[in-house]
Amino acid sequence: MPGTGKTLLVKVLAQLIQADFHRVQLTPDVLPSDITGTNIFDLNNRNFTLKKGPVFTEVLLADEINRTPPKTQAALLEAMEEMQVTLDGESLPLPDLFWVIATQNPLEFEGTYPLPEAQLDRFLFKLVVDYPDQTAEKQMLLNRQAGFAARRSDINSLQPIATVTDILEARQAVKAVKVSESIIDYLLALVRTSRQYPDLALGASPRAAGAWLQTSQAVAWLEGRDFVTPDDIKAVASPLLRHRLILKPEAMLDGLQMDAVIAAVVNQVAVPR
């Protein structure tokens, strides 16, 4: 939904971890080179100079990603998967911390393009940002009336609560969280059930399985444990799968909701003891 503070949220996140931040407003006329960059001929020294695009940052906000054509969307594929960008045959590495956070409009909105499955699968989570409840929206209006609307200077004055180095160290700590063989078998059973589920045309990919395991380790680490439980697997099922799975046309006609299907898939698989 437009106007729900998604862009502001990402700006605040980048400020709170002291990360470099770039935003790209994606429209139908944006070219791949507008994202990745290009080599420009310098008339003064008679040579080509690399002008890096906004993708060379730590937190990249791709705003309204499905308003730009698939060819431009594809400019992010290599960056998201391989942490590098190839320009004129030269591979250029991206920072150790590289997050792509995208917003999108519902497909029924005018001027939108569907995202290809290969790109959707590269996003870790899909979070649904809905309208605020009445109490929160009233407080927002009261703040605005009192002159407290968020401004760039307000964001820049926020005190960081972590650094990029902290995030990278936490990433290494998450990798050390133990995963038993029974938990891996449980996760694989969920993945395979999604691939065979009658209402789904596309189930979870091997990439999704790896991401599911890693995010479950992150949940365990945030809970202060050094081992993964079935509840950790379940906790991330919906945000991790809702953009990766595809409903069959007849299921969509029946009005099935993706989160309900994911819950049904999870409930079909017995929890290890």
pLDDT digits (tens, 9 = 90+) for 220-239: 999 999 999 999 999 999 99
CATH topology of domain 176-268: Helicase, Ruva Protein; domain 3 (1.10.8)
What class, spelled out in words, does domain 6-156 have in CATH? alpha beta
pLDDT at 149 over 70: no
Percent of the chain with pLDDT over 90: 69
pLDDT at 148 over 70: no
Structure tokens at 259: 């989160």
Instruction: Indicate the pairing of strand 21-25 with strand 59-63.
Output: parallel
- Which segments of the chain belong to CATH 3.40.50.300? 6-156
- What mean pLDDT is predicted for residues 150-177? 89
The answer to whether the CB of 43 falls within 8 A of the CB of 88 is no
Q: What is the 8-class DSSP label of residue 246?
A: E
Give tens-digit pLDDT for 20-55.
999 999 999 999 999 999 888 777 777 878 889 999
Residues paired with residue 100 on neighbouring β-strands, in sequence order: 60
Give tens-digit pLDDT for 175-191.
999 999 999 999 999 99
Least confident of 94-98, 106-110, 141-145, 212-216: 106-110
Confidence of residue 260 (pLDDT cuts 50, 70, 90): very high
Confidence of residue 152 (pLDDT cuts 50, 70, 90): low
Give pTM, 2 decimals.
0.88
Residues paired with residue 197 on neighbouring β-strands, in sequence order: none
Amino acid occupying residue 210? G
- What mean pLDDT is predicted for residues 131-136? 93
What is the model's pLDDT at position 197? Answer: 98
| Cα angle for residues 171, 21, 47 (degrees, 5° grid) | 110
- Which segments of the chain belong to CATH 1.10.8.80? 176-268
Among the listed residues 114, 121, 48, 60, the one whose alpha carbon sits nearest the alpha carbon of residue 85: 60
The answer to whether the CB of 11 falls within 8 A of the CB of 155 is yes
Helices (H) and strands (E) in the chain, counts: 14, 9
| Cα angle for residues 101, 235, 61 (degrees, 5° grid) | 5
- Output Rg (C-alpha) for the chain, integer angstroms: 21
45 Cα distance to chain centroid: 41
Structure tokens at 182: 């029974």
Structure tokens at 1: 């939904």
A 10 A CB-CB count for 203 gives 19
22 Cα distance to chain centroid: 15
Q: How far is it, in rounded angstroms, from Cα 47 to Cα 13?
A: 39
Q: Which residue has the tokens 């999870």?
A: 266
